[in-house]
Amino acid sequence: MQLEFWGAAREVTGSMHLLRVGRKSLLIDCGLAQGRRKHAFERNRNLPFDASTIDAVILTHAHIDHSGNLPTLARGGFRGRIFTTSATEDLCNYMLVDSAHIQKSDVRYVNRRRKKEGKRPFEPLYQIGDVRKALSRFRAIDYHSWFTPVEGVRALFLDAGHILGSASVILEVTEAGRTRRIAFSGDIGRKGLPILKDPEVPHGADFVVMESTYGDRLHEPASAAKGYLRECASSTAEKGGVLLIPSFALGRTQEVVYRLNQLWEEGALPPIDVYVDSPLAVNVTEVFGRHPECWDKEMIETTRNDRDGDALGFRRLRYVQSVEESKSLNAKPGPMIIISASGMCEGGRVLHHLSNNLDKPSTAVLFVGFQAANTLGRKILEGRSPVPILGTMVEVNARVERADSYSAHADRNELIAWAESARETGNIQKYFLVHGEPESAESLATALRERGTAEVLVPERGQAFEL
Ligand SMILES: [Zn+2]
């Protein structure tokens, strides 16, 4: 078999790995590359292979950097099946449609400039029709149930504990009478994350492709997250202001809501109204309710003991869908908590809330996710003022906080433990580290080399390996 790395190689986005077995081609993930707009756009548009030659796709989870370029694949003539878990399929129904809307508004912005320069306008990367084509290829498979994506390959999904529906996958490849196993970690979650089960480790692998996002960093324990929230909610309640939590619609939003619900149930939440203001988050949260097979024991018990039977809702919390209701929040007197996307403040309704509230000393902004360089979130976090929002400069007089304990990715120690457990049950010849900036991938590679005999590689984009 031959393994080719076409994304998330010495970087964290655009996950896409190609496994060739005999005459069959199997793609593992087909994510959007993100980063500098022009570069990302070119790369996402030009797949490095003919889409019609791909026989099947295995999708590890619904995050856009893993699933977001499936519509481009479908548009390019892919006619095979996309195998994934049932929860991932349901999430992609919303995530990919949302992504098509983002592609459209992104290109509109670029074209405004091109028009001024007298240049020909760009087409969006893909349209809703391409999303529909991709979604029609999905086939849901249960965790722990072997299936055959292409001739010569059996596959098994394990729970990766990263987001709802996330999976690691074991591929058992038989060629010329010889059978070997290659495991793809997908994104690896953390033990003790609320709602989700702990990550499972693939067994019996000969080769492992694993993520390394936080290969050089440690996280605060996930349990510390509740304390930050209580503290920020209390001081906002005292000041009568607004606590703004910029958060991505999938994963982090539900985690924050779950913690708030816990505080509410314990009677530890001060009297304050809570709004989740993101239509995508509303839809995604509804998908969480439909997939109890993905819940951990704590989530099942919390739901059972919850006063209103809902671990992602309570009397003072409202999910806001309509634009009118979102706008009406501005006229409401505080105190209140608003959770709104996007997580790095690069778009979405959070921009309106920031623009209306950042100049007030009674406002607090709590960042619960990573803020990439050059994003508005990063500027606010670094203490810049004024900051540009929706075409105007806004003074920052708000209190700005950040909670590091929120992360859906395993940290360095958890990644090492995961790799070590995989080694105990298999006869691993090679680890390939992907989905990490060069420093974190190399740092994890060094740690793994010190511990074992297997070869540890950090592939570059376009590199191919005969296994
Ligand atoms: Zn992910």
Ligand 1 centroid to Cα of residue 315, in Å, is 31
Ligand 1 centroid to Cα of residue 98, in Å, is 17
Condensed to tens digits (0 to 9), the pLDDT of residues 118-131 reads 999 989 999 999 99
Place of tokens 């809570």: 274
The average pLDDT across 204-222 equals 93
Ligand 1 centroid to Cα of residue 348, in Å, is 20
d(CA 148, CA 457): 28
The reply to whether 117 and 262 lie within a common domain is: no
Ligand 1 centroid to Cα of residue 446, in Å, is 24
Ligand 1 centroid to Cα of residue 445, in Å, is 20
Ligand 1 centroid to Cα of residue 176, in Å, is 35
Q: Which of 402, 429, 456 corresponds to the end of one domain?
A: 402
Ligand 1 centroid to Cα of residue 187, in Å, is 5
| pTM for this entry | 0.94
The reply to whether 129 and 212 lie within a common domain is: yes
The reply to whether 11 and 53 lie within a common domain is: yes
**Number of structural domains in the chain:** 2
Condensed to tens digits (0 to 9), the pLDDT of residues 428-460 reads 999 999 999 999 999 999 999 999 878 999 999
Q: How many CB atoms lie within 10 A of CB 340?
A: 27
Ligand 1 centroid to Cα of residue 55, in Å, is 24
Ligand 1 centroid to Cα of residue 60, in Å, is 9
Ligand 1 centroid to Cα of residue 295, in Å, is 17
Q: Which element (helix H / strand E) includes 393?
A: strand 392-394
The reply to whether 394 and 425 lie within a common domain is: no
pLDDT at 453: 75
Ligand 1 centroid to Cα of residue 66, in Å, is 7
Strand order in the sheet with 336-340: 317-320, 273-277, 336-340, 242-246, 364-367, 399-402
d(CA 32, CA 99): 10
Ligand 1 centroid to Cα of residue 240, in Å, is 36
Ligand 1 centroid to Cα of residue 104, in Å, is 23
Ligand 1 centroid to Cα of residue 265, in Å, is 30
d(CA 453, CA 449): 7
Ligand 1 centroid to Cα of residue 386, in Å, is 32
The average pLDDT across 379-404 equals 94
The reply to whether 205 and 229 lie within a common domain is: no
The reply to whether 126 and 156 lie within a common domain is: yes
The reply to whether 360 and 422 lie within a common domain is: no
Ligand 1 centroid to Cα of residue 13, in Å, is 9
The reply to whether 383 and 413 lie within a common domain is: no
Ligand 1 centroid to Cα of residue 214, in Å, is 12
Its sign, for the CA torsion 63, 216, 19, 4, is: positive
Condensed to tens digits (0 to 9), the pLDDT of residues 152-192 reads 999 999 999 999 999 999 999 999 999 999 999 999 999 98
Ligand 1 centroid to Cα of residue 198, in Å, is 15
Which has more confidence, 342 or 296? 296
d(CA 197, CA 163): 9
d(CA 184, CA 182): 7
Going by their DSSP bridges, the two strands 392-394 and 207-211 should be labelled as unpaired
Ligand 1 centroid to Cα of residue 41, in Å, is 20
Categorize the per-residue pLDDT at 312 as very low, low, confident or very high, splitting at 50, 70 and 90.
Answer: very high
Is residue 440 within 8 A of residue 215, CB to CB? The reply is: yes
Condensed to tens digits (0 to 9), the pLDDT of residues 79-94 reads 999 999 999 999 999 9
pLDDT at 140: 98
pLDDT at 351: 94
Is residue 4 within 8 A of residue 17, CB to CB? The reply is: yes
Ligand 1 centroid to Cα of residue 453, in Å, is 29
State the helix-helix crossing angle for 412-425 and 438-451, rounded to 10 degrees: 40
pLDDT at 369: 86
Who contacts 6 (Cβ-Cβ below 8 Å, separation ≥6)? 14, 16, 17, 18, 48, 49, 461, 462
DSSP 8-state class, residue 17: E
Place of tokens 């690896």: 188
Ligand 1 centroid to Cα of residue 63, in Å, is 5
Ligand 1 centroid to Cα of residue 9, in Å, is 15
Write the burial class of residue 255 (CB in 10 Å: 0-12 exposed, 13-18 middle, 19+ buried).
Answer: buried
Ligand 1 centroid to Cα of residue 308, in Å, is 31
Categorize the per-residue pLDDT at 50 as very low, low, confident or very high, splitting at 50, 70 and 90.
Answer: very high
Q: Residue 314 — φ and ψ, nearest 5°?
A: -155, 170
Percent of the chain with pLDDT strictly greater than 90: 86
Ligand 1 centroid to Cα of residue 263, in Å, is 27
Q: Which of 402, 424, 444 corresponds to the end of one domain?
A: 402
Residues in the chain, overall count: 467
The reply to whether 274 and 174 lie within a common domain is: no
pLDDT at 370: 79
Categorize the per-residue pLDDT at 409 as very low, low, confident or very high, splitting at 50, 70 and 90.
Answer: very high
The reply to whether 240 and 380 lie within a common domain is: yes
Ligand 1 centroid to Cα of residue 20, in Å, is 24
Who contacts 288 (Cβ-Cβ below 8 Å, separation ≥6)? 164, 195, 254, 312
Categorize the per-residue pLDDT at 40 as very low, low, confident or very high, splitting at 50, 70 and 90.
Answer: confident
Place of tokens 């393994």: 3
Instruction: Look up the CATH number of the domain holding residue 354.
Output: 3.40.50.10890
Ligand 1 centroid to Cα of residue 213, in Å, is 10
Q: Which of 376, 402, 428 corresponds to the end of one domain?
A: 402
Place of tokens 């929040």: 329
The reply to whether 226 and 374 lie within a common domain is: yes
Spell out the alpha helix ranges (H) of 177-244.
225-239
The candidate with the shortest Cα–Cα distance to 211, out of 464, 12, 447, is 12
Ligand 1 centroid to Cα of residue 30, in Å, is 12
Strand order in the sheet with 81-84: 138-140, 81-84, 56-58, 24-28, 16-21, 2-7, 464-466
Q: What b-and-e string marks burial along 320-339, b requiring 16 or more CB atoms within 10 Å of the CB?
A: bbeeeebeebeeeebbbbbb
Q: What b-and-e string marks burial along 140-179, b requiring 16 or more CB atoms within 10 Å of the CB?
A: ebebeeeeebbebbbbbbbbbbbbbbbbbbbbbbeeeeee
The reply to whether 263 and 292 lie within a common domain is: yes
The average pLDDT across 9-20 equals 95
Structural domain that includes position 40: 2-217+408-466
Strand partners, 169: 157, 184
Ligand 1 centroid to Cα of residue 465, in Å, is 25
Percent of the chain with pLDDT strictly greater than 70: 100
Average pLDDT over the chain, rounded to an integer = 94
pLDDT at residue 106 greater than cutoff 90: no
Ligand 1 centroid to Cα of residue 300, in Å, is 23
d(CA 106, CA 129): 18
Instruction: Look up the CATH number of the domain holding residue 81.
Output: 3.60.15.10
Ligand 1 centroid to Cα of residue 65, in Å, is 7
